[in-house]
A and B are shown apart, each in its own frame.
Chain A
Amino acid sequence: EIVLTQSPGTLSLSPGERATLSCRASQSVSSSYLAWFQQKPGQAPRLLIYGASSRATGIPDRFSGSGSGADFTLTISRLEPEDFAVYYCQQYGSSPNTFGGGTKVEIK
């Protein structure tokens, strides 16, 4: 089973700042099958990025994904008030698919 480690656990930033979230896998993720989800309190996860760098439908271009192999990054270029949430990475290239422990982006 591939273990995904997300860092940092919490990111304290102000609106307008740039957020950089990391997701490191215990082994290479097949075909860059890496996704990012956003989750707000009391809500379901929302797909942001799939295939490491493709934005899902309706996702603003301030969200971008990059990386390959075992190291992946989610970047939010300029934080909007609605972006403060928990972010999870998921690998879906190997069975079982697995999620990282999450990074909370909070208002500084």
Chain B
Amino acid sequence: EVQLVESGGGLVQPGGSLRLSCAASGFSFTGYAMSWVRQAPGKGLEWVSAISGSGGSTYYADSVKGRFTISRDNAKNTLYLQMNSLRAEDTAVYYCAKDKVYSGNYYALCDYWGQGTLVTVSS
């Protein structure tokens, strides 16, 4: 059974940093690209970042480019999102999600999602 469990969310002041983690199990982690998608309170879904199976290719939304860094540790089956220079508009539930296609390349279609971790940016 595919499981994705996010952690690391919390309350942080504007300008602060936070690192999110996503522990994956139940599938061949290195064979799939992974993504982070966020949802502001009461709002829709917004893609944030993605990484290929090997970790060699990374992708970012313009809204977070230069502030967020995605990475993965394939030995630990864990995905990360390092978030720096946080702003109030980054407040959201952050979901990690697994690509549907087994190839390692990024296809942007996610078939399994974690339950999310809430990040609140406020003074």
Contact = CB atoms under 8 A, between A and B. Distances in A.
Interface of A: 33, 35, 37, 43-47, 50, 56-57, 88, 90, 92, 95-102
A12 B103 CA distance: 41
A24 B62 CA distance: 23
Contacts of B111: 47, 50, 56-57
A96 B95 contact: no
A93 B44 CA distance: 19
A33 B109 contact: yes
Interface of B: 37, 44-47, 59, 61-62, 95, 100, 107-116
Given A50-B100, A101-B44, A102-B44, A95 B59 contact: yes
Contacts of A90: 45, 109
14 contacts: A44-B95, A44-B113, A45-B45, A47-B109, A47-B110, A47-B111, A50-B100, A50-B111, A90-B45, A92-B107, A96-B62, A97-B47, A99-B45, A99-B47
Contact of A96 (B44, B45, B61, B112): B61
A45 B113 contact: yes
